[in-house]
Amino acid sequence: YQSSARGTIKDKANFKVEEDVAALRKAMEGLGTTEKTLIEVLTQRSNAQRQLIAKAYEKGTGRKLVADLEGDTHGDFEDLLVALVTPPAVYDCHEVIKAIKVRLYLICLRFF
């Protein structure tokens, strides 16, 4: 079976990873976070481009983009941004583990 479903986010034309890294760094520096910039950069790039951004961010700052996003955002917004910059296979594994933990918890509750 081959799905005919396709992703809706395509590679951004004229993609410049250095510009995106600089924009993200500026958006998260100092007090407060420029959420609009985070949204624009991370939602308008393909997954492959977001992975390049994450690698370049770490190379340029010595810090992981995920860690900085977790430190500067919170709640559902944080979860969304972290999901966007996490490689799909890694994200899927985390979600499966989370689901298994919930199931085990529910099973344990039923037996006690």
The pLDDT of residue 10 is 86
From residue 32, how far is each of 24, 28, 42, 93 by CA, in Å?
13, 7, 18, 31
Which of 59, 55, 39, 40 lies closest to 87, judged by CA?
A: 55
Mean pLDDT of 14-35: 93
Q: Extract the tokens encoding 112.
A: 């006690």
pTM score, two decimals? 0.81
Identity at 100, one-letter amino acid code = I
**Fold assignment, 17-87:** Annexin V; domain 1 (1.10.220)
Residue 112 scores a pLDDT above 80: no
Mean pLDDT of 77-103: 93
Mean pLDDT of 54-83: 96
Residue 91 scores a pLDDT above 70: yes
Residue 79 scores a pLDDT above 80: yes
Instruction: Calculate ∠ Cα 15-89-37, nearest 5°.
Output: 35
Mean pLDDT of 6-10: 78
Residue 72 scores a pLDDT above 90: yes
Instruction: Calculate ∠ Cα 62-64-66, nearest 5°.
Output: 160
